Each structure stands twice: as C-alpha cells, then as structure tokens.
Chains A and B, each alone.
Chain A
C-alpha cells in the first residue's frame, strides 16, 4: 500500500506527458506514458459521464441509454422521495416492530445484520414511471422510463423478523414507517412478508445508498416502489390496513368503470428498447436492438420486437439467466437498410400477461387515469437520415 518516491515521480512524469495533450484527454499513445498509481476508491473512466436526470427535487431517473446488462450501478439507481433524503446515523439507527406481536422488539442495524441473510437481484420501479404521454419526440429512455432500476439487495427476510417477534396469526397487515421528513407510511399485507419481503441493508455488495434508504429499508419485490418504505424505523402489525395518505389520496388508480383501485401494488410487465433510441444516429447495416424487460409477477417469458411499427413481431433473445422480478436484457439483430422505421418491444411474462397497447390501457383505466401503473408498448422512430426519436403516441382527451 505504501507509495514509493519512485511511484510519485513516475506519476509526476506521467502528468507532464499528459500535459502535452488537451486537458482531460487520454494520451495519444498510452504505452509511452506510465499509468496512474493504485488508489483507494475506483472511479469511472474520465470519458464516461452517465448521469441521473433530476426532475424537480424529489426524483431522478436512471440513464438506461448509457447502461449494459441488467444491474444498475448504485449511484445511477433512480431516486424518489417525499421529504428529501434524510441523513441517518447507523450507530443510533433502530427498527421497532410492535402491534400484534408477542414480543415488541427493537433491532439495531447490527442486530439486523446478525440474522441469516439473503441476497436477491430485483428491479424496483416507481409506479409513476412513464414520461411519454405527450407530443415531445426528443425524449431519451431515461425520460420515458428512468424510474426503474435493478440491484442485488441483501438483507434479512421479513418473515425471519416476524418469527423472532412472534407475529400473531391474526395480523393481516403491517404498517411500514420511514424516518424521513415525510415519515412516509404504507400498509402492506402480512402475506407479502411470508412470500419474499426483505429488510435490506445491502445494495450491489455494499451498504444501501442514502437515496435508496440507508441504512435499512423495506423491499417488496415486484411491487410499486412507494410501498418499499425507505429509512425504515417502525413496523406495526394489525388486522386491518391503516389508510395512510400515500395509499388513499395518492397511489390509487381511478378506473374507467367509476371505481378506484386501492393497494394496487403489483407492477405489471413492461419493456423498453434502450438502443437504438434518442439521441442516437444510426449507420446503415446490422444493428443490435436491445433493451430491458421486467415484471412484478415473476419472470419475463418473451419479448417481441417489431421493426415495422407493430405490424409484425419477432421474439428477441433473452439474456440468461432470466431472474424473477428483475430487469431482463433482450436483444434482436436487425439489418437497417435505410428509410423510415418504427421499432417497438412488447413483453410477455410467465403468467401470460402481455404488455398492453396505450389503447388497451385507456379502455381499462380511462384516459386520465395515467398517473400510476402506465406500462404501454412504446417505440422509437428511425428516420431516413439515421436519427432516432421517440415515437410519440399522445394521450389526448379529444
């Protein structure tokens, strides 16, 4: 670990050599310049600058157009919060579980880490994740659907904690409460705890990022992000839901039949082509169309790709392993010979659910019920000059 004088001198010499090229640019011939010394914390290549895109001060989206594979780098995971990102001291953090339990218990962060742990790869998506409703065409994948990301989450199964505190068999719901300025609360069915819910403290091999709930959060695989309460400070078990603001006046879905859905947790299947997409310019020849598909119902079974605006569809290749409730990369080789084309993707999940068209969604939900759970088939228009724009399909109330 010790840095020798020789290393420092070599580094200085390298800096001189670098000085002969434009500032921040790599040297013309890296074999003629001694490279950088080892360092305590890695950084991206100076030429790579992926960025989240904040929308106001309460959310920012993942730059899907800059990413490969399925795992979202933690610093590019989307964020959405209702009272800002709190700073929480891990040494004083605690989680209280009470209500319909035999032993109301306080767990420190160290306590949570003592329990048998599980690690699972899952997507997390805000149910308000659709930005392609209008007529704008200069929109990136990040702007269309940046509020979904995939990480490996590590934590303790909530079922383990419920067993530890002696959860009553009569408890049907639990309240999850955050330690942020919104003290955000959601009611969750206890059955989800015994299915696959986690109290997560790890994200992609390290501690969860502050924007994702440091030091510990609830994680409900496949369900709308809002219910996976971050900065979790309290869980209360009950025999009925609590009807909090976030699950009544928000995060409910008016339907075309005059009802409104309560507790619409499930995130339905969706896909998004991330290449080619705005603002790419294509050259003629073979293009590997690719993107991500995901479903809260389990695994993606198939993704169909169309290069003629939805007239014909061809199954794309899915990158193995296809994981349950996780982003799945799909790829489809296409020979673009020039001329206008509209490329689209459509996901089908293991339950047989198929990603709907905008028209099907409107028939079911109504034209204005588009705030949450909006997962229509979307596409990109490739123009004759090779420029690619969002294939706008406006939601109008005419």
Chain B
C-alpha cells in the first residue's frame, strides 16, 4: 500500500513540478530563495533543458518534500502538547490529595455526576463491582465507572484537564486536577484516602479493568484466508 501511495503522490506532484519547471526555464532565472519549495524546484530547473525537450522524457521528479509549512517552535509545541501517556509522560509538576479535590468536586462536578459520583445524571464515575467482575457484555445495568471499567488512571487526569467542566472546559489548574483525580480514585477505593497523587504516583495506580482489554482483531487477514473468495465468515 505504501508504494502505491508513493506512486500516486509522485504522479500528482510531477504535474505541478513540471509547470513550475517550464516557467522557470522561460524566465531563465531561478526565483529568489526564502521558500523551501522554490529553492528545491529551482534546483530541478538547473538540469539541462534538452532532457525535458525529448518527447519520451519522464516528467521531472519533484523533491522529497515540497517545503510547505513552517518549522514549529518549541514554545508552540509546548503550548499544545497537553496529552498524558499511559506511563505518565506529560504529567505536569504539582500534586493533590482527596481532601484537596473534595471541595472542587462539590463545586464543579457534583451537579452533573452526583454528590458521591454515583447519582448522575451524567456519567457515573464511582463504584467497584464485587470481585472486580467484568459483566458488561451481559449486564446492561453494570455501570462503567473509573473503578470498574477505566483501564488507565492517567486518562482521568488527561480528560479532566482537557475537557472538564463543560461550562468552562480547560479552566482547571494542574493542582486542582491532581486533587480531583485523587478524590475520584479514592472514592473508587483505588488509592488510600490520604494518598498523594502526582506525576510519579499516578501511573502506578493499578486499575482492575485493565486486564480485560484486548486489541480488536477484526479485519486482520488470517494467514490461510484467501481475500476476495466469496465465503461468508462467522460473525466476529
């Protein structure tokens, strides 16, 4: 697939390159530097014109990159790079405990998620199932809470910080988010009430549901499967 894409890319770009090449030859000058595309295509224009004149000549090959876009500065990247990896990459400085998070939860979260995180009306956040069972395929009443269904604790920090609360998304400070995460993890009995949540401790929180998640294998060709043979498969 990769090679097909490459061919299509070259065919498509070749046409543009040829037009620019022709223009460059007629003018007889290479356009001033300053734009990477112009420089690169100018280099093409410097090849002997006789080559292009031949009726069977292949179209001029464009450069490996077109020089479109501008380099991103480290500050620009840092301003947007807010994601938290499952091993904790990206977690900011700061810390919080359940006691820190409780008043923030009451003020900013309880309206949608309930006083104790179990009442709704929006997503139920709190609650474990007996024996950390995973009955979600057969029991529609089993709530998918942080304690019963979420496979990574880091996701709680990432999501609260980027999208909550809906009336002022992205408004919580890092310390407030750490406090809220600690409060929610403690309510789910995933950490002790007095545990400190920070960049070092959060990725280490064991999530009971984690062991149940497996990659989807639909659409993966089996070694013996012959594609395009009309044979109906078992529902997957």
Which A residues from 179 to 237 make CB contacts under 8 A with B? 181-185, 194-195, 233-234, 236
**Given A363-B235, A369-B136, A264-B218 contact (CB < 8 Å):** yes
In chain B, residues 6-37, which have Cβ atoms closer than 8 Å to a Cβ of chain A?
A: 6, 8-9, 12-13, 16
**Choice from B66, B213, B215 contacting A164 with Cβ under 8 Å:** B66
Chain A residues, Cβ within 8 Å of B144: 249
Binary CB contact string for chain A from 358 to 376 against chain B (1 if under 8 A, 0 otherwise): 0011011111110000000
In the complex the two chains form, what is the Cα distance from A249 to B159 in whole Å? Answer: 11
Q: Are B65 and A164 in touch, CB under 8 angstroms?
A: yes
Q: How many residues of B contact A (CB 8 A)?
A: 65
**In the complex, A313 has a CB within 8 A of chain B:** no
Chain A residues with CB under 8 A of B66 = 114-115, 164
**Interface presence of A170 (CB below 8 A):** no
Say yes or no: is B46 at the interface (Cβ < 8 Å to chain A): no
**A367 and B232 alpha carbons, distance in the complex (Å):** 23
| Contact stretch, chosen from B96-104, B149-157, B194-202 | B149-157
Q: Quick check: A183 and B213 within 8 Å, CB to CB?
A: no
Check B68–A111 contact: CB distance below 8 A.
yes
Residues of B within 8 A of A182 (CB): 162-163, 169
A181 to B169, CA, bound (A): 6
Q: Using A116-B12, A163-B9, A261-B214 as known contacts, say yes or no to A105 and B69 having CB atoms under 8 A apart.
A: yes
Q: Is the interface of B mostly helix, strand, loop or mixed?
A: loop
Select the stretch in B50-58, B70-78, B112-120 that faces chain A: B70-78
Report how far A175 CA is from B81 CA in the complex, Å: 10
**Are A352 and B152 within 8 A (Cβ)?**
no
Q: Which of B9, B77, B84, B169 contacts A160 (CB 8 A)?
A: B9
Chain A neighbourhood of B158, CB < 8 A: 185, 242, 244-245
Interfacial chain A residues near B84, Cβ < 8 Å: 242
- Of A96-104, A142-150, A275-283, A384-392, the one contacting chain B is A96-104
Give the number of A-B contacts (CB < 8 Å). Answer: 203
A240 touching B137, Cβ below 8 Å: no
| A352 with B229: CB separation less than 8 A | yes
With a CB–CB cut-off of 8 A, which chain B residues contact A360?
Answer: 235
Residues on the B chain within 8 Å of A104, using CB = 71-72, 77
Contacts of A245 in B (CB 8 A): 155, 158-159, 163
User: Known: A185-B83, A194-B5, A356-B235. Is A266-B219 also a contact (CB below 8 A)?
Assistant: yes
How many angstroms from the CA of A260 to the CA of B232 in the assembled complex? 25
Q: In the complex, which of the residues A249, A260, A261 contacts B155, with contact meaning CB atoms closer than 8 Å? A: A249
Besides A245-B159, A248-B152, 12 other A-B contacts (C-beta < 8 A)? A104-B77, A106-B72, A157-B9, A163-B64, A164-B66, A164-B68, A183-B170, A185-B162, A244-B83, A256-B137, A369-B136, A397-B138
Jot down 8 A-B pairs with beta carbons below 8 A, ordered by A.
A96-B76, A104-B71, A106-B69, A159-B9, A259-B212, A260-B213, A262-B214, A368-B142
